[in-house]
Structure 1
Amino acid sequence: MMGPVLAACLLIILSTAWISQANEALCKKDGGVCSCNNNKNSVDCSSKRLTAIPSNIPVDTDRLVLQGNKLSSLPGMAFHGLTKLRQLYLSNNQLQALPIGVFDQLVNLTDLRLNRNQLTSLPPRVFDSLTKLTYLSLYNNQLKRVPEGAFDKLTELKTLKLDNNQLRSVPKEAFDNLQNIKDLRLEENPWDCSCRDILYLRNWIREKQGNVSNIEAAECAVGNKAVLDITEKDAASDCVSPNTTTAIPTSTTTPASVIYDDIHEIKVPQENFQKFLGYQEPDHLPTQPQCLMSISGYLGLMMSLMLTSAAILYVFHFLKKA
């Protein structure tokens, strides 16, 4: 009678191993491209030339590093389900826009890095769910505007980096809800000090001077005058603010052929690689590390199925003899 019991136990063990193989193909130790530290719930996929986000990121991930890749866009549901995530690094990519609601489920996020991308605008209310955020970096992008209310929910934010963008002004009350802000970087933007719109920023800087670091470094695009020092006469023009525009790009179109450094990636039909690779964005031919990860996972799956089948036959054999 012990034979069938042992066989059943073997079947359970093999099934568990199969599920584990399917779920952990992301990690380098299982043939994936990312480094995983299970003790700290950390997944590091930095500098892997990824053009898409892996779809099998564990739901209990606390820290996700995707910096230094070739991500040009994000799916709207890229981070859905990662409710335990606290740190998300997307810097040094090629992001041109963010989908509406892309961060909506990251309610525990404290650190978000989007610097060194190609963002020209932000979707409305894109940060509204990030009420625990303390660090937000958007520097070295091409932001021309900040939507009204963009930072209204970020009451815990301590560091905000907006330097090295194309901002000419910010909406009234843009920073009023940043109750805990300690460091705000505004330098290297073409602040238009001839328009009345700049007076809100001037007044805010004057009020927070000495309590918030680096805000005094904001300078006018013309005359090298500090925003802090402009007068009512300087800002006499009633200009049309770029913040009043309603044209907010929420997606981008990837060209049929894109050249990244020495890698040529060719547009392929979506259905060809989606299920096989397990990636959310099958818009490009996968890079070599992605193929290796997929092949390794596929071979592991086939081996697990073979062992499971053998265990099933073993069970039936003992049951038949019994």
Structure 2
Amino acid sequence: MMGPVLAACLLIILSTAWISQANEALCKKDGGVCSCNNNKNSVDCSYKKLTAIPSNIPADTKKLDLNYNKLRELEPTAFHGLNKLTFLSLGNNQLQTLPPGVFDHLVALGTLNLNNNQLKSLPPKIFDSLTKLKELNLDNNKLQSLPEGVFDKLTQLKTLQMTSNQLRNVPHGAFDSLSNIKTLWLNDNPWDCSCKDILYLRDWIDDNKDKVTGAQDAACGDQQSKAVLDITEKDAASDCVSPNTTTAIPTSTTTPASVIYDDIHEIKVPQENFQKFLGYQEPDHLPTQPQCLMSISGYLGLMMSLMLTSAAILYVFHFLKKA
């Protein structure tokens, strides 16, 4: 019976080795994409020209740095296997949207950096699972509005940065759940001080001057010399319509035939649909050399593991048959 026992042990060793190899493929010096500090459970994938999140990030990773890449979008399940993450940085990329649920499994996350992207909006409840979040950086995006209750679950949040966006107001009660907030940046947004909606923000800043960094710098978009903090009810007398609401239907105009003819030559076929149909990708989306090497390494490792595992199984059957 010694043979089958040894074979079973061999199977376990091979499986463990293969899993270890798959994890190391991410960080190997000879072609790996990222650098890893296993002692600190840290993975640094910054400055790698990545267009997608590497799929083999170790499950016990606590710190993941994806700064300064070429990420334009995220898969909804990009971080679903990383529930031990406490730090995630996606700053200085090209993100335009966030898929709903992309952060739902990051229940231990304490810091989330989304600064210096091109986000125009946030999905409702995008941060609802991040109940341990303490730092959130949304600086230097193109946010035009915030969803109702987007910060309601962030009761542990201490730092919130929203400078240099396109925010004109915030939903009523937007900051009411931030009971532990210590620092909030709001400057360099075109706050609309002519609408009554701004009065909630004015009152919140007034009640939390010690927490709002540069409270006087949160200025009205049309009156840069006047701070939101100094707005009166008379200044904000208008009932403004939400920017997402259509208030008027443009009247049609007659376009000269010559213009229509000239524009025919400017019509562009949706290349993205063609590319998806033909299986073609833009050069910017092609995998980098390290990514290719990583994929090849992983594939060869998988093949080797399968061959060794098959041999071990045959070894077991051989001894069982003899027994």
Q: Indicate if the aligned counterparts of 1:97 and 1:120 stay in contact, CA closer than 8 A.
A: yes
2:293 matched residue in structure 1:
292
Structure 1 residues 112, 306: CA separation in 2 closer, same or farther (over 3 Å shift)? Answer: same
C-alpha distance in 1 between matches for 2:320 and 2:131: 58
Q: How many residues align?
A: 296
- SS of 2:64's partner is strand
Higher relative contact order (CA 8 A, sep 6+): 1
1:200 matched residue in structure 2:
200
How big is the shift at 1:271?
8.0
C-alpha distance in 2 between matches for 1:226 and 1:77: 42
Contiguous gaps of at least 5 residues in structure 1: 246-254, 258-265, 274-282
How big is the shift at 1:18?
2.2
Q: Which moved more, 1:299-308 or 1:181-190?
A: 299-308
The amino acid across from 1:104 in the alignment is D
1:162 matched residue in structure 2:
162
1:179 aligns with 2:185: no
1:151 aligns with 2:151: yes
How big is the shift at 1:206?
0.8
C-alpha distance in 2 between matches for 1:185 and 1:243: 24
1:301 matched residue in structure 2:
302
- SS of 1:216's partner is helix
Matching of residues 66-215 of structure 1 within 5 Å = 66-215=66-215
Q: Which moved more, 1:303-312 or 1:27-36?
A: 303-312
1:18 aligns with 2:18: yes
Structure 1 residues 203, 300: CA separation in 2 closer, same or farther (over 3 Å shift)? Answer: same
How big is the shift at 1:268?
5.8
How big is the shift at 1:31?
4.1
Question: Which digits, 9 at most, give the CA deviation of each residue in 1:250-285, with x for residues without a partner?
Answer: xxxxx747xxxxxxxx94669899xxxxxxxxx943
Q: Indicate if the aligned counterparts of 2:31 and 2:289 stay in contact, CA closer than 8 A.
A: no
How big is the shift at 1:204?
0.9
C-alpha distance in 2 between matches for 1:135 and 1:167: 20
C-alpha distance in 2 between matches for 1:26 and 1:267: 28
1:278 matched residue in structure 2:
none
Question: Which digits, 9 at most, give the CA deviation of each residue in 1:75-125, with x for residues without a partner?
Answer: 111111321111111111111111111111111111000001110000011
C-alpha distance in 2 between matches for 1:286 and 1:294: 10
C-alpha distance in 2 between matches for 1:49 and 1:25: 18
- SS of 1:204's partner is helix
- SS of 1:112's partner is strand
1:43 matched residue in structure 2:
43
Question: Which digits, 9 at most, give the CA deviation of each residue in 1:181-230, with x for residues without a partner?
Answer: 11111111111111111111111111111244333320011222111111
Structure 1 residues 180, 244: CA separation in 2 closer, same or farther (over 3 Å shift)? Answer: farther
Structure 1 residues 125, 7: CA separation in 2 closer, same or farther (over 3 Å shift)? Answer: closer
Q: Indicate if the aligned counterparts of 2:42 and 2:61 stay in contact, CA closer than 8 A.
A: yes
C-alpha distance in 1 between matches for 2:125 and 2:8: 53
C-alpha distance in 2 between matches for 1:211 and 1:284: 42
Q: Indicate if the aligned counterparts of 2:67 and 2:89 stay in contact, CA closer than 8 A.
A: yes
- SS of 1:151's partner is coil
Structure 1 residues 203, 244: CA separation in 2 closer, same or farther (over 3 Å shift)? Answer: farther
The amino acid across from 2:99 in the alignment is P
C-alpha distance in 1 between matches for 2:277 and 2:20: 30
Structure 1 residues 29, 8: CA separation in 2 closer, same or farther (over 3 Å shift)? Answer: farther
C-alpha distance in 2 between matches for 1:2 and 1:43: 42
How big is the shift at 1:241?
2.8
Contiguous gaps of at least 5 residues in structure 2: 247-269
Q: Indicate if the aligned counterparts of 2:112 and 2:135 stay in contact, CA closer than 8 A.
A: yes
- SS of 1:127's partner is coil
Matching of residues 203-282 of structure 1 within 5 Å = 203-224=203-224, 225-242=226-243, 256=271, 267=275
The amino acid across from 2:287 in the alignment is P
Over the residues paired in the alignment, what is the CA RMSD in angstroms? Answer: 3.0
How big is the shift at 1:300?
2.8
C-alpha distance in 2 between matches for 1:148 and 1:243: 13
Q: Which moved more, 1:35-44 or 1:301-310?
A: 301-310
Q: Name the % identity.
A: 73
Structure 1 residues 88, 98: CA separation in 2 closer, same or farther (over 3 Å shift)? Answer: same
- SS of 2:203's partner is helix
- Give the TM-score normalised by structure 2: 0.81
Q: Indicate if the aligned counterparts of 2:193 and 2:231 stay in contact, CA closer than 8 A.
A: yes
Q: Indicate if the aligned counterparts of 1:72 and 1:96 stay in contact, CA closer than 8 A.
A: yes
Question: Which digits, 9 at most, give the CA deviation of each residue in 1:129-172, with x for residues without a partner?
Answer: 11111100001000000111111111111110111000011111
